[in-house]
Structure 1
Amino acid sequence: MKLIDLKVHEFMTVLGSNEPAPGGGSAAALSATMGASLVKMVAELTKGKKKYVEFEELTHEVLVEATRLQDELLQSIDKDTEAFNEVSAVFSMPKETEEHKAARREAMQKALQGAAISPFNMMTLMVATLKVTEKAVGKSNVNAVSDLGVAALNLKAGLQGAWLNVLINLSGIKDETFVKTYREKGEALLTEGCTIADRVYEEVLKLV
């Protein structure tokens, strides 16, 4: 069964157990998914309202994008655990001969790269969602403006959490070009996303 098919209590139980996965990566994806869901909710509460008719086109755009990103982030919860499981599977490979050991090393490097790419991909989705969130600030239902602030906080937490998961996997990868590329791209996403999240939060504070 997929993690996203579990009830909230069931998910939290397995998350808090001694199982190594799901862990921080899936938790980061969950946090960001909640953020996207809140943005979608705000758009739903704004569309069709006469008071916000001048923003109807923007509201539709936000709703469509938030819905898409909500689904992609939701899928990331399981994708991250699946990537971690690929790393764990390497430890079950035979290691009796030099050939076995070489195969294990190669498999581990490939698995670690996958485990780094998974949270990096989350980061791109989170930054995209933060951009959509910012579009709605001041142009959506005033009664739900605080929800946009909470969305930004959830997305920022998810972004920072995903970055930690990128870093911990990069630390075991020997391909220097791969590490340099994903470190630089990840740092750029982190800076961009955190800047947007902080800006959204500050704007929401002025409106509540």
Structure 2
Amino acid sequence: MHDHTISGYLERLAAREPAPGGGAAAALHAAQGAALVGMVARYTTGEKYAEQAGEVAEIIVESDQLRWRAVELAADDALAFTAVTDAYRLPRADDEQKAARSLAIARALAGAARPPAAVITVATRVVALAETLLPYGNPNVVTDIAAATEAARAAATTARINVEINLGGIKDEAVRTELTASVAGVDELAARAEAVTAAVRTRIAR
């Protein structure tokens, strides 16, 4: 994922192959949201923003970390989904093979659900940073704050679907509970993102 050009990644995304897919796309939505937050923060520097300098510096550092984390999760998702397809291809000629295959599938599905669950965590932080920047961020790039939250919202809602699709095949109740909890706040996050966008639209309409 780090080495692809954008066009090369999109070619692979459009290809008839299992990965990258929606999970990787969700992660890259999150990465773009984090990058946009970082850009707005970098424009919110200098004497005019001296009062917020410390907070802005922290936002720049965290947004960069979130961006790289999201790209890593895109790669993790592609690998995890490939593991699922490999598990489904295991032999099932007898009861022993069937049991081993079922166990491998359950483990692979749990593994496939973890990257999108982590994407939701990244997206949540992106929205939080955008909310922090909104009151004082450079007005010349205020629309990019909305763009960041919209990207984060797309990341979270897409990632939720990718967690949920895997839940049915996961037998471990502790893992199911953990993953179910990871998606519980997505509607609230989407509402927060929408509120940021609404605030930006109100501001630019003046």
Task: Give TM-score, length-normalised by structure 1.
Answer: 0.93
Q: Which residue of 1 aligns with 2:197?
A: 201
Are 2:41 and 1:55 equivalent residues in the alignment?
no
Tell me, yes or no, if the aligned pair for 1:15 and 1:22 is still in contact at 8 Å. Answer: yes
Q: Name which of 149, 153, 162 aligns with 1:152.
A: 149
Give 1:61 shift.
1.4
Q: Which residue of 2 aligns with 1:9?
A: 7
The one-letter code sitting in structure 1 at the alignment partner of 2:192 is I
Bigger shift: residues 88-97 or 20-29: 88-97
Tell me, yes or no, if the aligned pair for 2:18 and 2:82 is still in contact at 8 Å. Answer: no
2: CA distance between counterparts of 1:17 and 1:185?
30
Give 1:20 shift.
1.5
- Write out aligned runs for 1:7-86 (5 A): 7-47=5-45, 49-86=46-83
1: CA distance between counterparts of 2:199 and 2:174?
39
Q: Deviations over 1:173-195 (max 9, x none)?
A: 2334432442233112x033213
Give 1:98 shift.
1.7
1: CA distance between counterparts of 2:181 and 2:56?
34
2: CA distance between counterparts of 1:92 and 1:165?
21
Aligned length: 204
Tell me, yes or no, if the aligned pair for 1:32 and 1:155 is still in contact at 8 Å. Answer: yes
Tell me, yes or no, if the aligned pair for 1:4 and 1:77 is still in contact at 8 Å. Answer: no
Bigger shift: residues 198-207 or 152-161: 198-207
Q: Name which of 108, 113, 118 aligns with 1:116.
A: 113
2: CA distance between counterparts of 1:185 and 1:147?
27
Are 2:189 and 1:174 equivalent residues in the alignment?
no
Bigger shift: residues 8-17 or 167-176: 167-176
The one-letter code sitting in structure 2 at the alignment partner of 1:199 is A
Give the alignment's Cα RMSD to 1 decimal. Answer: 1.4
The one-letter code sitting in structure 1 at the alignment partner of 2:81 is F
Tell me, yes or no, if the aligned pair for 1:32 and 1:154 is still in contact at 8 Å. Answer: yes
- Write out aligned runs for 1:94-133 (5 A): 94-133=91-130
1: CA distance between counterparts of 2:169 and 2:103?
12
1: CA distance between counterparts of 2:25 and 2:3?
15
Instruction: List alignment gaps of at least 5 residues for structure 2.
Output: none
Percent identity of the aligned residues? 34
Runs of 4+ in 1 over 6 A off after TM superposition: none
Q: Which residue of 2 aligns with 1:191?
A: 187
Tell me, yes or no, if the aligned pair for 2:43 and 2:138 is still in contact at 8 Å. Answer: yes
The one-letter code sitting in structure 1 at the alignment partner of 2:78 is T
1: CA distance between counterparts of 2:39 and 2:182?
31
Instruction: List alignment gaps of at least 5 residues for structure 1.
Output: none
> Matched residue of 1:4: which SS?
coil
Are 2:159 and 1:142 equivalent residues in the alignment?
no
Bigger shift: residues 37-46 or 173-182: 173-182
